[in-house]
Structure 1
Amino acid sequence: MTNPDTNTTSTSTGTGSRRVRANGDGTVYQRKDGRWEAAGYVLAPGDTRKRIHVYGTTRKEALAQLTEKVATSNRGIAAPSAQGSVAAFLTYWLENVAVHRLRENTHTRYTTVVRLYLIPGLGKKKLAKLTAKDVRTWLDQLRTTCQCCARGIDTARDQPQCCAAGACCCKRLSPLTLAYVHSVLKSALEHAVREEEIPRNVARNVRMGTPRPRRFEPLTGEEARAFLTAVDGHRLSALFELALRTGLRKGELLGLRWEDLDLTGATASIRRTLQRTNSAGLTALPTKTHSSERRIALPTECLRSLEQHRERQTEEREAAGTSWKVSGYVFTRPDGSPIDGSTLTRHFNALLRGAALRRIRFHDLRHSAATLLLEQGVELVVIRDLLGHAHIGVTASVYAHVRLRLQRDAIDLLGNALRAPNAAATRPDDGDEPPLCAAPVH
């Protein structure tokens, strides 16, 4: 019996010999619309085989896609089917697609969302029959469902104290979490569209509304000065000062190596972030985005504190002797090993308590740096480059409240300029008020 995937082509020799593609290689040809199509057989659910079609703008691209699917099939992994359930497709997507395209911690969060919300809510539906109404109805129900009741959180306690005891605690998902769950579903279905399992991404037709951004309380100028005074003398004072004066992320600070610093030129190159993962433990990873890999200018005050920190680290290395762990990181534990992010958070919280300062998150130091810069009239594009945002729109949206306050100040200044001269002259000048000074608003 002739294999339908066998493709024969004539050679250019005069012998009339023909080259035959091996069984299972599939068929690759150009369509009338100019696209290239590749077809072949792969493993399907139920230990059967099915013929699939993939497409590309070039022959090489189409063949590469087919080769990838055949290789996955040869590993015993069944290809998803639109006739299969949403749960089966989500499992396939997490294990064979998302795992290669996401950071490990992001993949872990996606897996949690799929396990806790997507599969229980939509898993039994057929992928091909999933509609926008199904998604919207499920999200509306999820919005009003107590998660303590739904997941049996209180039931698992030794002594039930709320839902299992007849007093529902109404533990509902926040708008931000709901938006995240929706985005994970959209990402999964977008891949199903690319693989032409379904014709469209129905989750994109469901409008969630724009959730309010997470509220943060940045330090005021007075609080920031008090914080710098409190960290003076702390073993990690250089790190805390660098965080407040430059707005670097926690992982970026912990991932700094001495080779990244140019204290003579007063610059620092941000090349990596230090994070804990389930598989590798504490490890150095690429920066959050391509824009996050950047070079920033170091304030003069940070140069002094970093020099002092290097001297302290040298003393610690000499005291540790052979037990010193060579890591190359700027900020380390007393034995030279890298610092875990959770350990830094504990040091930070203890410092705030000891100095009787307002409780904030470590990430709020980053917000404080950006807010204080904005209030000093620094342009958004400069702050974007310093923080490593991918787009200036991210910077503008996060700090919209600061820009609004600066607009009010600017409008007041304009009102003073438009006030009648005689009205301004009638105001008594007691010499106590400083002259008005307008900061540019961007």
Structure 2
Amino acid sequence: MTTPRDTPASRRVRANGDGTVYQRKDNRWEAAGYVLAPGNTRKRIRVYGTTRKEALSKLTEKIAASNRGLPAPSARGSLAAYLTYWLENGAVHHLRENTHTRYTAVTRLYLIPGLGKKKLTKLTAKDVRTWLNQLRTTCQCCTRGLDTARDQPLCCAAGNCCSKRLSPLTLTYLHSVLKSALEHAVREEEIPRNVARNVRTGTPRPRRFEPLTAEEAREFLAAASGHRLQPLFELALHTGLRKGELLGLRWEDLDLAGGTASIRRTLQRTSTGGLTTLPTKTRASERRIALPTRCVQSLKLHREQQQREREAAGTTCQHSRHVFTTTQGSPIDPTNLTRTFTTLLRNAGLRRIRFHDVRHSTATLLLEQGVELVVIKELLGHAHIAVTATVYAHVRLRLQRDAIDLLGNAFDGPANDGSTHDDDGDDPPPCGATVH
């Protein structure tokens, strides 16, 4: 008599609704079952794996999602339908809110109008390349009807095209969003391959930034002297912290006695949650940095000033644990910080730059002082040193040129000082100049 334990794994009876699983002739395992489909219907899907456990796990995951009311996308449907499904059921759980908002805008403005009618399974690399070329060469005022929506047409509707085209950086971003969506479809085995990966968009030039020089940095700090946020701007210039990291700092993150700060979180404004504290941008961004003595002293004075402001505010004080707050104790909105920064630049008579360029200023000045690239990478919280090397390649090139010029000066120096030496092998050969 055969018992259930003796029954081969591929032939065991499964409960009703759990689907079936069996081994194929190519030694792969196939699992099939019914899940919820668009239109409140049900369809049979098939998933595959190298082992029975892997195939069964994939099927169980899809059935569980179906039981939660999430319809499985149809590969026979349009790309627009899949993009909507991906944003609502996939990307929303893995992206930050602001990133998800940007992805949604890109999908609505560019992906769906350009490729949305294509069938997901019939999308080709040629379709993607044609779409990108059209975006690269057509005026966006014409394509999106921006000019017709103006009170007084200035472009196509007026017969005078402004030729406003998307930048290479924007095109690369659109391409990356499409690749992410199709990669999700590949993982869910809706399509066999990601055709967007076969399209090359080229490497766009990095966004140019204008860091402060050492003299400009001194002028800015002089203009910020006496301001209630002076410690924040000093900390930004000395450490290169991001705006969100500065505003997300809490007093428990600082060790003023030891002169260190732990970067654990960032403060951002989201469309649904308002000012929200989130984890750092990447795992590498979570780091511990040393604080200059000047910043330690400023932070100690700032803590005393903050305590006086809380006492003056009385019951209206919000008692936030953040290091940098408003006079009422609430976190500082990033937009308000940018306004204050711009005002200080204007008061100092300096050119207008982005707040993020302060971070670039720190890295540039450190490189020019001869600080090792790996030290700057750790200070800035870059995930890989290649990121640091790429962003500041122009600075490294200038330093290389200075070093080569210094070596050239050594070669151009006199071979000797005019005195004679006995070449008996005991004395070292004359040196024209010392190379540092």
TM-score by length of 1: 0.89
- Residue 180 of structure 1 is matched in structure 2 by 173
8 A contact 1:10–1:19 mirrored in 2: no
Output the CA distance in 2 between the equivalents of 1:143 and 1:302. Answer: 47
1:423–1:360 distance in 2 versus 1, CA, 3 Å? farther
8 A contact 1:325–1:337 mirrored in 2: yes
Quick one: which of 191, 196, 200 aligns to 1:207?
200
8 A contact 2:285–2:383 mirrored in 1: yes
Does 2:424 align with 1:399? Answer: no
CA displacement at 1:46 relative to structure 2: 4.4
* Amino acid corresponding to residue 271 of structure 1 in structure 2: R
Does 2:182 align with 1:189? Answer: yes
Question: What SS does the aligned partner of 1:291 have?
Answer: coil
CA displacement at 1:37 relative to structure 2: 3.9
- Residue 372 of structure 2 is matched in structure 1 by 379
Question: What SS does the aligned partner of 1:337 have?
Answer: coil
8 A contact 2:236–2:359 mirrored in 1: yes
Question: What SS does the aligned partner of 2:315 have?
Answer: helix
Does 2:251 align with 1:241? Answer: no
CA displacement at 1:354 relative to structure 2: 1.6
- Residue 424 of structure 2 is matched in structure 1 by none
Question: What SS does the aligned partner of 2:323 have?
Answer: coil
- Residue 103 of structure 2 is matched in structure 1 by 110
- Residue 156 of structure 2 is matched in structure 1 by 163
Question: What SS does the aligned partner of 1:11 have?
Answer: coil
CA displacement at 1:228 relative to structure 2: 1.2
- Residue 19 of structure 2 is matched in structure 1 by 26
- Residue 426 of structure 2 is matched in structure 1 by none
Does 2:113 align with 1:120? Answer: yes
1:168–1:300 distance in 2 versus 1, CA, 3 Å? same
Q: Give the CA RMSD over aligned residues.
A: 2.2
Quick one: which of 311, 316, 321 aligns to 1:323?
316
- Residue 276 of structure 2 is matched in structure 1 by 283
Output the CA distance in 2 between the equivalents of 1:379 and 1:405. Answer: 15
- Residue 144 of structure 1 is matched in structure 2 by 137
Question: What SS does the aligned partner of 1:275 have?
Answer: strand
Output the CA distance in 2 between the equivalents of 1:436 and 1:242. Answer: 38
- Residue 64 of structure 2 is matched in structure 1 by 71
**1:372-408: per-residue Cα shift (whole Å, max 9, x none)?**
0011111111100000000000000000000000010
Output the CA distance in 2 between the equivalents of 1:424 and 1:192. Answer: 75
8 A contact 2:407–2:435 mirrored in 1: no
Output the CA distance in 2 between the equivalents of 1:238 and 1:34. Answer: 65
1:328–1:35 distance in 2 versus 1, CA, 3 Å? farther
Aligned residues: 417
Does 2:306 align with 1:305? Answer: no
Output the CA distance in 1 between the equivalents of 2:299 and 2:130. Answer: 55
1:103–1:62 distance in 2 versus 1, CA, 3 Å? farther
CA displacement at 1:413 relative to structure 2: 1.1
1:10–1:417 distance in 2 versus 1, CA, 3 Å? farther
Question: What SS does the aligned partner of 1:292 have?
Answer: coil
1:10–1:172 distance in 2 versus 1, CA, 3 Å? farther
8 A contact 2:410–2:435 mirrored in 1: no
Does 2:298 align with 1:296? Answer: no
8 A contact 2:91–2:100 mirrored in 1: yes
CA displacement at 1:174 relative to structure 2: 0.8
- Residue 89 of structure 1 is matched in structure 2 by 82
**1:173-215: per-residue Cα shift (whole Å, max 9, x none)?**
1110000000000111111111221121111111111000000
- Residue 362 of structure 1 is matched in structure 2 by 355
Output the CA distance in 2 between the equivalents of 1:34 and 1:373. Answer: 58
TM-score by length of 2: 0.90
8 A contact 2:4–2:12 mirrored in 1: yes
CA displacement at 1:28 relative to structure 2: 3.7
Question: What SS does the aligned partner of 2:90 have?
Answer: helix
Q: Runs of 5+ in structure 1 lacking a partner?
A: 1-8, 426-434
Higher deviation after alignment, 41-50 or 281-290: 41-50
* Amino acid corresponding to residue 109 of structure 2 in structure 1: L
Output the CA distance in 2 between the equivalents of 1:229 and 1:280. Answer: 36
Quick one: which of 220, 226, 229 aligns to 2:213?
220
CA displacement at 1:40 relative to structure 2: 1.2
Quick one: which of 388, 396, 414 aligns to 2:407?
414
1:153–1:61 distance in 2 versus 1, CA, 3 Å? same
**1:39-81: per-residue Cα shift (whole Å, max 9, x none)?**
2111224443222123456655544432332233234433122
* Amino acid corresponding to residue 278 of structure 1 in structure 2: S
* Amino acid corresponding to residue 241 of structure 1 in structure 2: E
Output the CA distance in 1 between the equivalents of 2:295 and 2:52. Answer: 55
8 A contact 1:252–1:287 mirrored in 2: yes
Output the CA distance in 2 between the equivalents of 1:280 and 1:437. Answer: 58
- Residue 428 of structure 1 is matched in structure 2 by none
Higher deviation after alignment, 31-40 or 318-327: 31-40
CA displacement at 1:336 relative to structure 2: 0.3
Q: Runs of 5+ in structure 2 lacking a partner?
A: 419-432
CA displacement at 1:311 relative to structure 2: 1.1
8 A contact 1:221–1:372 mirrored in 2: yes
CA displacement at 1:154 relative to structure 2: 2.3
1:303–1:59 distance in 2 versus 1, CA, 3 Å? farther
Higher deviation after alignment, 192-201 or 158-167: 158-167
1:318–1:34 distance in 2 versus 1, CA, 3 Å? farther
